[in-house]
Amino acid sequence: MSAIAAILLVLATAMLAAGLAYRLALWLAAPVPLSIPTMPAPLTRGGAAMRVGREMLLFHSLFRADKPLWAASMAFHLGLALVLLRHLRYVVAVPPAWLVAIQPVGRLAGWMMMAGLLFLLARRLLVPRVRMVTRTGDVAVLVLLLAIGTSGLVTTYLLHTDILAVKAFLTSIWRAAPEGLPPDPTFLLHLLLAILLLAIVPFSKLLHAPGLVFSPTRNQPDGSRRYRRPARWARTLAGGGQ
Amino acid sequence: MDAAYQVDGKTVAHDEEGYLTDIGQWNEAVAGIIAEAEGLPMTAERWEVVNFLREYYQEYQIAPAVRVLTKAIGKKLGPEKASNKYLYELFPYGPAKQACKIAGLPKPTGCV
Amino acid sequence: MSAFEPPPLADEVELAAPPALVPGAMAHSRPYVAAPAHNQALGFPGERVPDWERRAVEKLGELLERSRALRVFLDSCVKCGACADKCHFFIGTGDPNNMPVARQDLLRALYRRHFTVAGRMLGRHVGARDMDEALLQEWYTYFHQCTQCRRCSVFCPFGIDTAEISMAAREIMDAIGLGQKYSNEIIGKVHKIGNNLGLPEPALANTLEGLEEDVLEQSGAAVKFPLDVHGADVLLVTPSADFFAEPHVDGLIGYAKVFHQAGISWTLSSHASEAANFALFIGSYEQMHKIAQRIRQAAIDLGVKRIVFGECGHAWRVAYAFLNTLAGPWDFLDPAYPVPQHIVEVTHELIRRGGIVLDRDTNAGKTVTFHDSCNVARASRMGDAPGGQFVLPREVIKAAVPSFVDMHPDTTHDRTFCCGGGGGLLTDDLLELRIKGARPRMQALKEVVEQQGVTHMAAICAICKTQFAKVLPAYGFPMEMVVSLHQLVGQAIRLG
């Protein structure tokens, strides 16, 4: 049992890493032949990086677009980030003080994440224009996240699992014979679904996370009257100016 | 797709929008038929515009700018008629396009 | 006499309320297909190529390798719907395919099917579709219901720009022999004659002579409209509509008066007698490059020191953001000036340092508002600081008229609504769409007309001006309400 789980986990992590690396390679191989930031844009590279940062951390454009959606999205993403941070204690041998300190916050974040997800799912199913653009895959990702969250909360509050055993398992997966996976069904479900999530990131819309960093409308500075940027494929065109 | 006007038993081809495909096929009877299709009876004033467009086109291979047209019409019909507004009264869809169509000229293209 | 009568505007401005969904509401709206000759003039197949389905996929693959934006945008959408109610065409028509996300999905369907693992394995469950006649017809219909105004990209949390997607889709359609008549015919005219109108050099010269007579008669000043003058300081590149249409020509008179009064020597070029570059609309870098070369050639041939662009929205996008890459480097021009400059930058600077003096009283009785053109607002800049494209035009207008009022902030600056005629849609065969798409702007205009007594709306784009002249009457406003920004300047400037 432990061995199977370990293999799946390693496999999923490998898929995540390889899939992302492949996707990023495709993105980076393609040039941005023209200057296309959504204006007004910062004038410097540093300013553009700040803009991307503002989008990543504060969801600035989404805030301008739709306040309730922004709130739900923030609740989910921030909740998820805190929950993941909390999970560090299952792999760090001796948790530092801050990690111990955020454990209650992390538990709260679990509820915040679930509330955000439920709002997103309800919105997707109930708002006609959002429902119109929804495919099975869009609902499936939300359901998967909800299931991971639910099983996590159940193990946290109702059907406790042997955390020390989990920790022993996670720190031993690199050994030939991993050990100690607790046989609690809820926990196993949680682990399995999380593994599935890791594996599908590079093949699904979860690519939006790296996508934001590479989005030319957000990461390009406004400097087109100062800098030229002819792409390699464009330099072969006839005429002056190349 | 393309259709044709029927004029005195002859067919005169036009494009999707009613502009003649061959401006050489234009004559006054054709103008009357196109104007009829546009719902505009050919009055003396409309003829002034159409004739000026054709003269200008003969010389320059393009319809005149709206301002050139208003000035010319002002000279012919009186200064009170030298206005874009008056031309729109004559050709409600816009003098450049609708009058060109009746005059058998190509449609002015671009942001106009 | 419009083909379509829109329902009256609401009494209350309800900018926030998204419309009810009306599936298929605009399924009938398609522009005329280009004739074989129009396509061939641009090097595209005249008619649908035999294995067009395969060719479309292949072309998409080529575009993916040429543009990171396309790849990232096709991969990143989460269908959050933040863009859905931001598009003027969705607001004006209720057609769900006019939600930017749905429009993107028409191209994303083919991308997912052929270029992603999930799409190959899961098909329709992840929105993948094969190329077939039905999909192609949806492309032709709905990618010609996008003015590429970028309003959706302002609100997208990932900055996905539907303009890039619709440009790619149109490029694919051109590659399989399905071009749009309006854009392709016009681009052909630029290659052949030098401008969108097809205005030959003698006609241009005659028109400019007429304008000199008009201005002399009206103002007593011998303002020149020079054409092909070698050794002039400034090459003015302006949309050919400025030579032809109303109120565009009043803007051209305004530029001429500014140059005259400031003592700047300038010239127009009969070779580059067009600022517009419709190749942007069809997404063709090659065509855009070819058109841009005319400006480089004219600048070299005439030996000018500066290049200034007249009032044209998408042209200023191409000029500001692309021209340096497409036709630079501009090291043979005077390095003291940015290349290119916008006429509003020139006029603004002259007002600031007293090079020209404007008299507001000459525009007495006018209360003016300003329509931010989409391409100027969201794809370019003026002046030295970000957002100058919003500040400079307003400052120039305020210097020229006694009373200025802004429209609702949800409809100005980078949140401005497109006029409804941009992106190659300013054609009579799309009039119903254009009238419906203008609705959000008309609604905001109604508010300032009724509450603040606005009499005129200034614009700095040839497309906007023509579009408004056409759609204002449909919403009960006089056509003369739209004015060129430099028309106000030309009225107010003290000559002599």
Binned at pLDDT 50, 70 and 90, residue A164 comes out as confident
| SS3 label, residue C493 | strand
- Claim to verify: residue C258 and residue C332 sit in the same structural domain: yes
Q: Write out chain A residues lying below 8 Å of C157, CB-based.
A: 55, 59, 61-62, 65, 73, 208, 212
Q: How far apart are CA C456 and CA C204, in angstroms?
A: 29
- Distances in Å between the Cα of C488 and the Cα atoms of A20, C252, C344 are 55, 11, 12
Sign of CA dihedral C481, C482, C488, C491: negative
Give the 3-state secondary structure percentages of chain B, helix then strand then coil, rounded to 5: 55, 10, 35
Report the gap between the CA of C327 and the closest CA in chain A (Å). 4
- Claim to verify: residue C261 and residue C390 sit in the same structural domain: yes
Residue-wise pLDDT tens digits, A188-209: 999 999 999 999 999 999 999 9
- Claim to verify: residue C179 and residue C70 sit in the same structural domain: yes
Q: Which residues pair with C403 in a beta bridge?
A: C367
Q: Which of C276, C277, C289, C209 shows the shortest CA–CA distance to C248?
A: C276
- Claim to verify: residue C242 and residue C333 sit in the same structural domain: yes
| SS3 label, residue C290 | helix
C487 touches B: beta carbon within 8 Å: no
Q: How far apart are CA C26 and CA C435, in angstroms?
A: 12
Burial of C356 (0-12, 13-18, 19+ CB in 10 A): buried
- Claim to verify: residue C127 and residue C208 sit in the same structural domain: no
Quote ipTM for the complex.
Answer: 0.95
Strands B3-7 and B10-14: antiparallel
- Claim to verify: residue C113 and residue C256 sit in the same structural domain: no
| SS3 label, residue C377 | helix
Mean pLDDT, contiguous 10-residue spans, chain B (112 residues) = 82 94 94 95 95 96 94 92 92 92 95 92
Domain span at residue C258 reads 193-405+454-492
Cβ atoms A82, A102 nearer than 8 A: yes
pLDDT value at residue C14: 56
- Claim to verify: residue C244 and residue C153 sit in the same structural domain: no
CATH number of the structural domain B3-102: 1.10.10.370
Does residue C465 form part of some domain?
yes
DSSP C268: B
Binned at pLDDT 50, 70 and 90, residue A1 comes out as confident
Mean pLDDT of C22-40: 97
Buried b (16+ CB within 10 A) or exposed e, C74-98: bbbbbbbbbbbbbbbbbbbbbbbbb
Mean pLDDT of A27-56: 97
C32 touches B: beta carbon within 8 Å: yes
Domain end point (choices C171, C186, C201): C186
Mean pLDDT of C456-478: 97
Does residue C380 form part of some domain?
yes
Residues of B belonging to the active site: 111
Does residue C347 form part of some domain?
yes
**pLDDT exceeds cutoff 60 at C46:** yes
Does residue C346 form part of some domain?
yes
Residue-wise pLDDT tens digits, C327-369: 999 999 999 999 999 999 999 999 999 999 999 999 999 999 9
- Claim to verify: residue C227 and residue C338 sit in the same structural domain: yes
Q: Which residues pair with B59 in a beta bridge?
A: none
Does residue C19 form part of some domain?
no
**pLDDT exceeds cutoff 60 at C118:** yes
DSSP C419: -
| SS3 label, residue B39 | coil
Q: Which of C351, C397, C347 shows the shortest CA–CA distance to C371?
A: C397
pLDDT value at residue C2: 44
Mean pLDDT of C199-228: 97
Order of strands, sheet of C367-370, starting from the edge strand that comes earlier in the sequence: C403-404, C367-370, C456-459, C482-484
Number of Cβ pairs closer than 8 Å across B and C?
90
Residue-wise pLDDT tens digits, C298-327: 999 999 999 999 999 999 999 999 999 999
Identity of the residue in B65, B109, B112 whose CB atom sits nearest the CB atom of C189: B109
- Claim to verify: residue C130 and residue C264 sit in the same structural domain: no
Q: How far apart are CA C496 and CA C494, in angstroms?
A: 7
Give the 3-state secondary structure percentages of chain A, helix then strand then coil, rounded to 5: 75, 0, 25
Does residue C286 form part of some domain?
yes
Domains identified in chain C, total number: 2
Note whether A touches B: 3 CB pairs or more under 8 A.
no
Binned at pLDDT 50, 70 and 90, residue C496 comes out as confident
pLDDT value at residue C56: 98
Judged by CB atoms closer than 8 Å, whether chains meet at C125 and A28 is answered as: no
**pLDDT exceeds cutoff 80 at A177:** no
Nearest residue on chain C to A236, judged by CA atoms? C286
Chain C residues 146-205 with CB within 8 Å of chain A? 150, 153-161, 164
